[in-house]
Amino acid sequence: MENFKSIELFAGAGGLALGLHESGFTPQLLVEIDKYASDTLRLNMPDWNVLNTDIRAIDLNTLDISQDIDLISGGAPCQSFSYAGLRGGLEDTRGTLFYDFARFIDFFKPKVFLFENVKGLITHEGGHTINTIISTFENLGYTVRWELLKAIHYEVAQKRERIIMIGVRKDIHDVNGDFTYPKPQNKILTLRDALVDVPESIGASYPETKKKSARLSTTWWLLA
């Protein structure tokens, strides 16, 4: 397996970074503002370079990263952007956390980026937000595609929908051509498939008042 170099932004506790790591990526840096998520990352992956800080405070020139970066990944929260201009440059996104995701792209110029976000981004501000994001990436020199993918179609027992946006640096895309997303799987996994070899649990104990409330709710649903 090849050893690609990556940077993970808005890393959380490392779910995305772990999947990428198992696919051949070695993170050179992971940025996460939440202390407990950062501590979880460090505990599980002690060799990883985790930076627990506000991404907006990072001076990119001070980062000790000498390797060429193959991939930058993450999912920045996307607040409303300014309607002024629609130039698609970084200035259109200033004041949002997406600006800092794009700032890393502009500085490191990775071969590829992976930007993930919630389904609501498609219709947010009447499509203005996602169009500004795409335009910004294109102006930074990337060919951009996105799809709305459902986790349950990819052997994950969870009904989670996410926009997965992929950008390939144009000099690489022009040589290698377009790329495709993985095809949905026919098999749909359930919790029974996922929870294998889980120790038996006695479950949670509820007070009598809560039990009564649950019984009443169940009865109402049956009669409705």
Other CB atoms within 10 A of residue 196 CB: 6
Q: Distance between CA atoms of 205 and 56, rounded to whole angstroms?
A: 44
Coil, strand, or helix at residue 112? strand
Q: Is the dihedral of CA 163, 156, 179, 4 positive or negative?
A: positive
User: Side by side, which strands form the sheet with 4-9?
Assistant: 50-51, 25-31, 4-9, 71-74, 112-118, 161-169, 142-150
Element containing residue 131 per DSSP (H, E) = helix 128-139
Bridging pattern class, strands 142-150 and 161-169? antiparallel
Find the helix or strand (DSSP H, E) in which 28 lies.
Answer: strand 25-31
Catalytic residues: 78
Rounded CA separation 54/47 (Å): 21
Are the C-beta atoms of 85 and 92 separated by less than 8 Å? yes
Judge whether 173 and 143 are in contact, CB under 8 Å. yes
